[in-house]
Amino acid sequence: MSSYKRVDGRNYDELRPIKAEVRVLKNADGSALFELGNTKVIAAVYGPRELHSKHIAASYESLVRVRYHMVPFSVKERKSQPFTRREIEISKVIKEALSACIRRELFPRSTIDIYVEVLNADGSTRVASLNATSLALADAGVFMYDLIAAVSVGKIQGQLIVDLNEYEDQNSEADIPIAFMPSLNKVVLLQMDGVMTYEEMKEALKLARNAAEKIYQIEKECLKSSLESVLKVYGYL
Amino acid sequence: MEGIKYNIFIPKIRQKFILNALKENKRIDNRALNEYRAVKIKYGHLPNADGSAEVSLGNTIVLAGVKIDISNPFPSEPDKGILIVNAEFPPVASPDFEPGPPDENAIELARIVDRGLRKPEVVDFSSLCIIPSQKVYRIWLDIYALNHDGNMVDAAGIAAIVALMNTKYRKFTYVQDKGLVDTGEKVPLSIKNFPVFITHAKIGDQIILDPNLEEEMLADCKVTTIVSEGGLITGMQKSGIGSLTLEDIDKILIDSINLYQKVKENILKEVNKNA
């Protein structure tokens, strides 16, 4: 491996410290906070619930709607635009990834509304958002085929790295956000920006798969401890 | 924050027909699984645009137009020109498109094309600087769908590169005390790379190249791979609900890299035919 030193001293395949917490917002049916170092994301899920504009309802499955949004103070320069093209695209890819893992056929004519707010952006916000939304959906008790474990991999000065922060994102030659349903070994989100050879790409996907497994374990642990605390309150544990 | 709308209706019997044919490696338009539709290119036919191209991929038609003006550079890149890509799906292209600002699909398309042109620096952005930190050329690349029959991304990618290739802009120079002066000369953009957008669709267990609209509607998802000179991968995007395995991705990558030269030559042949 090359001798590239990462700005925060991490190993090339090392994730930033992860914090995952569910049931952080009481009004939402399900909610989660997900942190990758200084990238902090909160997600709320409402639904399955009644859809008010009935003409867009699907007769045999539920609609999934996602809004990914960055709060104005989440980035270096205050973000004033209410909804950028970048946010629209990210909302779309997150929606499509979640649609692949939610069992939509169980909730016909309804909608599942998912709101993501990026509270602090330090790279990899879309994958953090996917992890947060997947936990929030589980917290809401929405049936899914699997949780989503998402991670970014990239290339900087020829070195492949996992979990890019803002600096690495700005200075990288390539970055790949990718999301897995780990138990099923399926990819539900894949984007790539930059320049890579086929070999690098293959290696990067392998790194991503391993990192996703780590995130998956943390997510499961998070849901388990949340369940345990509920069971304790009711005296089952 | 829109719902997913699939208004185009494919009767069940037709769906079955298409899927059953695919099981025998056959497609409804008689193409092989990894065969492109015929590419036709018209360019430079809109004299008021600085560059233009109309590309048809089977029945899909996409128009790209370039306009160049002068603006302030981005503070992060004070000595580089600016590229702005927009896409619109106007109602002329499909009964399902509605008037109004670009929806998420159009925005996604514009951002994929933008990504394909930016990182591998298709245009030499450094050559588009007039006064560093003050004045640079700004390229507006607008993409319009004219007829939607699936795989608009690939058609848009071809239209974008061909439009940029035949773009000529008015050359300005900076003269002390006079400011920017029009030299009256029109110069072409300097093109450094040739990206090709290659879209595969996954339908059931099959992976097919260049899906048409019906195939696209039935597909689990699509993957666009952008390949540039030297077989380098310069962008990827999965779009649509549905999932892939890592093996699928690998297959798509290999297929795309192998196709690059052929598709590129095909495009250049079409361009030269109309020269």
- 3-state DSSP assignment of residue B83: strand
pLDDT tens-place values along chain A, 237 residues long: 567 899 999 999 999 999 999 999 999 999 999 999 999 999 999 989 998 888 888 888 999 999 999 999 999 989 887 889 999 999 999 999 999 999 999 999 999 999 999 999 999 999 999 999 999 999 999 999 999 999 999 999 999 999 999 999 999 999 999 999 999 999 999 999 999 999 999 999 999 999 999 999 999 999 999 999 989 999 888
Contact list, B237 vs chain A (CB under 8 Å): 93, 190-192
Q: Does B234 touch chain A (CB under 8 A)?
A: yes
Is B237 in contact with A184 (Cβ distance < 8 A)? no
pLDDT reported for residue B65: 96
Whole-number Å distance between alpha carbons of B270 and B275? 9
- Give the homologous superfamily in CATH for domain A18-233: GHMP Kinase, N-terminal domain (3.30.230.70)
Given a cut of 70, is residue B7 above it in pLDDT?
no
Nearest CA in chain B to A186: B245
Strand order in the sheet with A63-70: A18-22, A30-36, A39-50, A110-120, A63-70
CB atoms within 10 A of CB B275: 7
Q: Which of residues 194-213 of A touch B (CB under 8 A)?
A: 194-198, 201-202, 205, 209
Sequence ranges of the domains in chain A: 18-233
- 3-state DSSP assignment of residue B42: strand
- 3-state DSSP assignment of residue A179: strand
With cut-offs at 50, 70 and 90, classify the pLDDT of residue B2: very low
Q: Does B235 touch chain A (CB under 8 A)?
A: yes
CB B111 within 8 A of CB B129: no
Contact list, A190 vs chain B (CB under 8 Å): 223, 236-238, 244, 249
Residues of chain B with pLDDT > 90: what percent?
Answer: 83
Q: Does A95 touch chain B (CB under 8 A)?
A: yes
CB A94 within 8 A of CB A29: no
CA distance B188 to chain A (A): 26
Contact list, B233 vs chain A (CB under 8 Å): 192, 195-198, 201
Contact list, B232 vs chain A (CB under 8 Å): 195-197
CA distance B238 to chain A (A): 5
Beta strands in chain B (DSSP E): 39-43, 51-57, 60-71, 82-88, 129-131, 135-147, 168-175, 179-188, 196-203, 206-209, 221-228, 232-239
The residues near A103 (Cβ < 8 Å, ≥ 6 apart) are: A143, A144, A145
Contact list, A111 vs chain B (CB under 8 Å): 3
Residue B12 φ/ψ region, left for φ over 0, alpha for ψ in the -120 to 50 degree band, beta for the rest: alpha
Q: How would CATH label the architecture of B12-273?
A: 2-Layer Sandwich (3.30)
CA distance B152 to chain A (A): 16
Sequence ranges of the domains in chain B: 12-273
Is B111 in contact with A89 (Cβ distance < 8 A)? yes
Burial (Cβ within 10 Å: 0-12, 13-18, ≥19) of residue B94? middle
